[in-house]
Amino acid sequence: MLTKWTIFTLAAGFFITGCSSRVSSEKDLKVLTGSPWKYEKAGFDDDDGTFDALAPQIAGNERENTIIFCKDGTGYSEFAHRSKTGNPDSLPFIWAFQNDSTIYFQDQYYKVRVLTPQRLELYADQKFGGTSTRYTIILTR
């Protein structure tokens, strides 16, 4: 009988393998995986450059966490502060470029607005009760 963990591992492996040939470019891969990132800010933005509401976890301790993208489509967040003894030092994730302008990260598809050696800006348009909003993540080095 397959456990949930086995099914997740197989699905993640299939997802990563299936997307590995769709990398937008070697340059983008090198920029993304070259060195760790840190949150500058994240939250809701109407695409006018002004955040209407910051994500509270990013505004606090999580802002100091390090985000590491590995070339094999895996990655992890290294925690700068642990809230409780016994909590893990990092949290793994999977990621993949979907095309020239989209990346799968944090269980969601994001459009890539900026990808330079110093800055990564991602956004996802969402609808809540008929209202459109944009969630934006800005990472810097």
% residues pLDDT > 90 (the chain): 36
C-alpha dist (Å) from residue 88 to 1, 85, 118: 29, 9, 28
For the chain, what are the domain ranges?
A: 4-140
SS3 131: strand
SS3 89: coil
Residue 22 is predicted with a pLDDT of: 40
pTM over 0.85: no
Q: Dihedral, CA atoms, 61, 72, 35, 56, nearest 10 degrees?
A: -20
User: What is the arithmetic mean of pLDDT over 113-118?
Assistant: 96
For 34-59, give one letter per residue: b (16+ CB within 10 A) or e: eebbebebbbebeeeeebeeebeebe
Residue 5 is predicted with a pLDDT of: 39
Of 46-50, 52-56, 137-141, the range with the highest mean pLDDT is 137-141
CATH for 4-140 is: 2.40.128
Please say if the pLDDT value at position 14 is more than 60.
Answer: no
21 pLDDT band (50/70/90 cuts)?
Answer: very low
Distance CA 62, CA 57 (A): 6
What is the per-residue pLDDT across 53-106, written as a single tens digit (0 to 9) for each? Answer: 776 666 566 667 899 999 999 999 887 666 666 666 778 999 999 987 899 988
SS3 7: helix
Please say if the pLDDT value at position 4 is more than 70.
Answer: no
**What are 29's two structure tokens?**
């891969």
Q: Which residues contact 7 (CB under 8 A, 6 or more apart)?
A: none
